[in-house]
Structure 1
Amino acid sequence: MSNTGDIVAKLWSLCHILRDDGVTYNEYVTELTYLLFLKMLEETKKEERLPKAYRWRELAKRDGLDQLDHYKRLLLDLGKPDVKDVLIRAIFTDAQTRLRKPTNLKALTAAIDQLDWFSAREEGLGNLYEGLLQKNAEDKKSGAGQYFTPRPLIDCVVRLLKPDVGEVVQDPAAGTAGFLVAADRYIKDRTDDLYKLTEQQGHFQRHSAFVGAELVPDTHRLCMMNLLLHGIEGGVDLADTLSPDGERLPKADLLLTNPPFGTKKGGGRPTRSDFSITADTSNKQLAFIEHVVRALKPGGRVGMVVPDNVLFEDNTGRRLRTWLMELCNLHTIARLPTGIFYAQGVKTNLMFFQRGKTDKANTKAVWVYDMRANMPAFGKTRPLVVEDFTEFEKAYGSDPNGGAKRKDQGETGRWRCFTREAIKARNDNLDISWLRDTEVEAEEQLTEPDDIAAALIGHLKAALEAIETLSEELEPNGAGEFAAEAAE
């Protein structure tokens, strides 16, 4: 295990202390975020961003009720609207501690002080924090997996789409900023940590290159912390992309995202004035696709995770796919294995497309890679790894926009090409499979109770979403929709 791995394990072990204080796993990571933020500002010599009374050493030296009361004041004051530092205000807005016992706060501050901070700095404080987020997501009890996309998947998408200096990279459902951090790392690896860039280019990369939105306040807090520790200042708003806030996000050269699945709470619809295809649906994943297309600059490219129903759902789903293939070149779909997400057993896909320079007939053919059939049972005992994407990346080729030479592997291979005409003959249904599907057999191989539960939950969620979709279509406006389509 690396030094960072050791530190993450030590930090995670502290959560057992806090469970006696009524602190849940997710709250524990949020609690740690407040404390680690203060400590990391000390370690990186950036404490001038904080009032002297609220720096790490002032907190850590105190004991008992004095320390706990001081900590509560600190959380309250650093999140006030008049705090000028935007990042500090974002991390501490509405912050409150779940700790009730002074001994637990002392245990946390003492343990954090005793960590091997020299090694953590050498390996990167951002890596330490990402390790902590991953640990939290892997723990089924935390429920954080819904905000955490597996890093091997993220890194695969980033390698294929090749983020470049000067590009605006957007994630409209940023979660803990996994895609944005990976894109930043990709660019830094090719520019000697930005040292090869001009001062102006470096400033753009740190302050303007990465943008997005995150709806959940606590997740946004973790997101901002993650960005800070990777040298990215801000960029992700606490906002609902499906509201007018989403219209204000900067247009993107590259959009990377794993948007939330399911329907908006209470059957709510998007409130975007620019939405025409999905304005009347509460289906979040369909609405996010409309946002993604509208958020792209001409020539902008996309890599995004979508559930299966996006590929086959009728009515709004079909109109959306037809519209997307007109405006964009939808060149690649990868059918992902089941069981790769920590908290949900849903079936997912990767979609890659590029916004056309015109609005007509941009998709000529769609290449589909099947990573799902005849694959291992992924889960706790067999996590997703980088090597699982090797053959797909080789088939995809070196052109980010799918223009590399590709060879159809036929009915026995995983990689096939379907013309736009062939897809049209399927009523623009993109849920295309040809290999014998052994997913059920794969699920039968699961042995971990957590993995079995995740698979069951996935099937139940899919069934509930199908019922909600059908209910929507049977509403009066849905009936009118059918009539209009029949008239066509």
Structure 2
Amino acid sequence: MTKTNDIVQKLWNLCNDLRDDGVTYHQYVTELTYLLFLKMMKETGEEGQLPEGKRWDDLRKQNNVGVLDFYRQLLLDLGKGKHPLVRQIYADANSFMRKPTTLRKLIDSIETLDWYSAREEGLGDLYEGLLEKNATEKKSGAGQYFTPRPLIDAVVAVMKPGSGDRIQDPAAGTGGFLIAADHYVKAHENVYDWPQPKSRDYFERAFHGMELVPDTHRLALMNLMLHGLANDPERSGIHLGDTLTPDHEKLGKATLILSNPPFGTKKGTGDARRTDLTFQTSNKQFMFLQHIYRSLETHGRAAVILPDNVLFESGQGKQIRTDLLDKCRLHTILRLPTGIFYAQGVKTNVLFFTRGAGEKGNTKDVWVYDLRANMPQFGKRTPLTREHFRAFEEAYGDDPWGGEDALARRVDTGAEGRFRRFTREEIAGRGDSLDISWLRDDSADSGDLPEPSQLAEEALTELAGAMEELRAILLELGENEDELKEAGVLA
């Protein structure tokens, strides 16, 4: 992967040129997606999906005076084209660049990259690397759309997706969970020896997701396309929409759901709201949690990342947890280390559960693995790796459904260990709170504070997130985005 990493770094360095042209990090990745799609269509021999005269070489041959105007028209034309995937990637596309010389430098730089090595190592891996680079750059504010890959890989490994699964992510982001599930299937099954009907069914109908933010949806489509999972975007892939509205009907039922829903609250707007969920709340995590366990087929399984408040919140929060414990076998909770997401202070968990055949009494025992206490402070100096999850994966066992026999083979490590069993009666005695900890966290008492530069970066990241929330609220309230920009309210 050395060549791919080198190309990713070169692509990321090009961002400096666009920063001088007033383009933000997130805008840069979107802009780069428009250009990379054209180039990769040429590299993969799939330019037939693009209209004649609207391809990579047509853009390259434009002179410096007319290249930017040609490019802007090209974006408009592709957004209205006949091919559904192309049309979705370029829907409402517009260029953030103001100088033809900036565009020319981007085109020339992309052309001179080592595309032979990129094809050999995988164009999908190249694009994933670019998305990860954007997410780990705190100034981009994109970390909220990017779940750490070591965590995704660990979750997928214990959930064991198979070719017969119908896999869903109702808050898909850039598609990391779906792509990791595909990697797992291909690593454990000989997918290329399947009969054609099974192969078509898998590649065109096995993966389903939904993403609310148009630019992030664009990145997700590109990501799936480069991994061979966006052949029929009308029937599968990642849809643009809001799972917490009737849009969810596009997703259907699933045998496996893997997701990291967004944090925060759902503001009241004029949009249609879900009426099929029993408990109505503005808390997005609780709404997504209800969607997930209601969308599972009988004996379907799920792994969902949720913040601590979902484990202990009273009122409707308690009612939703009780409903989950009744309808599903909630067999495992993984308490995650702090600091592994873009907001350093957020404490999160992974809930693993299986939908029961009945509506009551499905949870008998809940096993809690504490990977939070006495863990290092993760960041650039101590990156999160797959090795940090190895002991959990071993303790979880080889049954992705958490069946009774598999749970009986687990070992409770006692008050000094990380893995413990709690009965349904013990949880009821806690008021159905799942916020369970027992280890003394010496790292929390050490008094060590992050470096001032890290604290400043975290503050800027939180401010960027707050601005994005404000932007979303204003737009939901019907404000005009162009007018807000002219007034200086939005950048």
TM norm. shorter chain > 0.5 = yes
Aligned to 1:472: none
> Any idea what SS the aligned residue of 2:192 has?
coil
> Any idea what SS the aligned residue of 2:380 has?
coil
CA deviations 1:158-182 (Å, max 9, x no partner) are: 0000000121100000000000000
8 Å CA contact 2:208, 2:238 repeated in 1: yes
Judged with a 3 Å threshold, the aligned counterparts in structure 2 of structure 1 residues 332 and 455 are, in CA distance, closer, same or farther, namely farther
Judged with a 3 Å threshold, the aligned counterparts in structure 2 of structure 1 residues 367 and 348 are, in CA distance, closer, same or farther, namely same
8 Å CA contact 2:139, 2:460 repeated in 1: no
Structure 1: segments with no counterpart, 5+ residues: 466-488
Alpha-carbon separation, structure 2, partners of 1:168 and 1:399: 18
Aligned to 1:98: 96
CA deviations 1:88-143 (Å, max 9, x no partner) are: 11100010001110011110010110000000000000000000000000000100
8 Å CA contact 1:145, 1:344 repeated in 2: no
Aligned to 2:195: 198
Aligned to 1:285: 285
CA displacement at 1:458 relative to structure 2: 7.4
Alpha-carbon separation, structure 1, partners of 2:205 and 2:155: 21
Q: Which amino acid aligns with 1:99?
A: M
Aligned to 2:61: 61
Alpha-carbon separation, structure 1, partners of 2:316 and 2:270: 16
Aligned to 1:479: none
8 Å CA contact 2:139, 2:461 repeated in 1: no
Aligned to 1:434: 438
2:228 aligned to which of 228, 231, 253: 231
Q: Which amino acid aligns with 1:224?
A: L
Aligned to 1:253: 255
Alpha-carbon separation, structure 2, partners of 1:231 and 1:102: 33
Alpha-carbon separation, structure 2, partners of 1:26 and 1:9: 16
Q: Does 1:217 align with 2:221?
A: no
2:133 aligned to which of 132, 135, 142: 135
Q: Does 1:419 align with 2:423?
A: yes
Alpha-carbon separation, structure 2, partners of 1:261 and 1:95: 27
Alpha-carbon separation, structure 2, partners of 1:313 and 1:343: 20
8 Å CA contact 2:338, 2:348 repeated in 1: yes
Aligned to 1:114: 112
> Any idea what SS the aligned residue of 1:232 has?
coil
| Matched ranges for 1:47-86 at <5 A | 47-80=47-80, 83-86=81-84
CA deviations 1:323-361 (Å, max 9, x no partner) are: 001000000001000001134531000100000011110
Alpha-carbon separation, structure 2, partners of 1:448 and 1:299: 49
Alpha-carbon separation, structure 1, partners of 2:462 and 2:438: 23
Judged with a 3 Å threshold, the aligned counterparts in structure 2 of structure 1 residues 64 and 137 are, in CA distance, closer, same or farther, namely same
8 Å CA contact 1:215, 1:239 repeated in 2: yes
Q: Which amino acid aligns with 1:179?
A: F
Alpha-carbon separation, structure 1, partners of 2:421 and 2:301: 20
Q: Which amino acid aligns with 2:265?
A: T
CA displacement at 1:450 relative to structure 2: 3.1
Alpha-carbon separation, structure 2, partners of 1:270 and 1:373: 42
CA displacement at 1:267 relative to structure 2: 7.9
Q: Does 1:144 align with 2:142?
A: yes
- Count of paired positions: 458
> Any idea what SS the aligned residue of 2:163 has?
coil
Judged with a 3 Å threshold, the aligned counterparts in structure 2 of structure 1 residues 167 and 124 are, in CA distance, closer, same or farther, namely same
| Matched ranges for 1:267-286 at <5 A | 271-277=273-279, 279=280, 281-286=281-286
Instruction: Give the percent of matched residue pairs that are identical in Structure 1 and Structure 2.
Output: 58
> Any idea what SS the aligned residue of 2:454 has?
helix
Q: Which amino acid aligns with 1:147?
A: Y
8 Å CA contact 1:338, 1:372 repeated in 2: yes
8 Å CA contact 2:138, 2:461 repeated in 1: no
Alpha-carbon separation, structure 1, partners of 2:297 and 2:357: 9
Alpha-carbon separation, structure 2, partners of 1:20 and 1:291: 44
Alpha-carbon separation, structure 1, partners of 2:24 and 2:462: 24
Alpha-carbon separation, structure 2, partners of 1:273 and 1:290: 12
Judged with a 3 Å threshold, the aligned counterparts in structure 2 of structure 1 residues 86 and 344 are, in CA distance, closer, same or farther, namely farther
Q: Bigger CA drift: 339-348 or 417-426? A: 339-348
Alpha-carbon separation, structure 2, partners of 1:68 and 1:408: 64
Q: Which amino acid aligns with 2:298?
A: P
How high is the TM-score relative to the length of structure 1? 0.90
> Any idea what SS the aligned residue of 1:372 has?
coil
Aligned to 1:399: 399
8 Å CA contact 1:337, 1:372 repeated in 2: yes
CA displacement at 1:441 relative to structure 2: 4.3
Structure 2: segments with no counterpart, 5+ residues: 470-491
CA deviations 1:284-339 (Å, max 9, x no partner) are: 00100000011111111001100000000000110000000100000000100000
Alpha-carbon separation, structure 2, partners of 1:156 and 1:290: 24
Alpha-carbon separation, structure 2, partners of 1:437 and 1:313: 22
CA displacement at 1:380 relative to structure 2: 2.1
Aligned to 2:450: 446
Alpha-carbon separation, structure 2, partners of 1:73 and 1:408: 63
How high is the TM-score relative to the length of structure 2? 0.90
8 Å CA contact 1:3, 1:120 repeated in 2: yes
CA displacement at 1:73 relative to structure 2: 0.5
Alpha-carbon separation, structure 2, partners of 1:96 and 1:254: 36
8 Å CA contact 1:170, 1:180 repeated in 2: yes
> Any idea what SS the aligned residue of 2:65 has?
helix
Alpha-carbon separation, structure 1, partners of 2:136 and 2:336: 19
Aligned to 1:475: none
8 Å CA contact 1:144, 1:343 repeated in 2: no
8 Å CA contact 2:293, 2:324 repeated in 1: yes
Aligned to 1:480: none
| Matched ranges for 1:351-366 at <5 A | 351-366=351-366
> Any idea what SS the aligned residue of 2:265 has?
coil
Q: Bigger CA drift: 83-92 or 262-271? A: 262-271
> Any idea what SS the aligned residue of 1:202 has?
helix
Q: Does 1:374 align with 2:378?
A: no
> Any idea what SS the aligned residue of 2:173 has?
coil
CA displacement at 1:205 relative to structure 2: 1.6
Alpha-carbon separation, structure 2, partners of 1:395 and 1:229: 34
CA displacement at 1:86 relative to structure 2: 1.1
8 Å CA contact 1:377, 1:442 repeated in 2: no
Aligned to 1:478: none
Judged with a 3 Å threshold, the aligned counterparts in structure 2 of structure 1 residues 458 and 11 are, in CA distance, closer, same or farther, namely closer
Q: Which amino acid aligns with 2:111?
A: D
Give the aligned CA root-mean-square deviation in angstroms: 2.1
Aligned to 2:170: 172
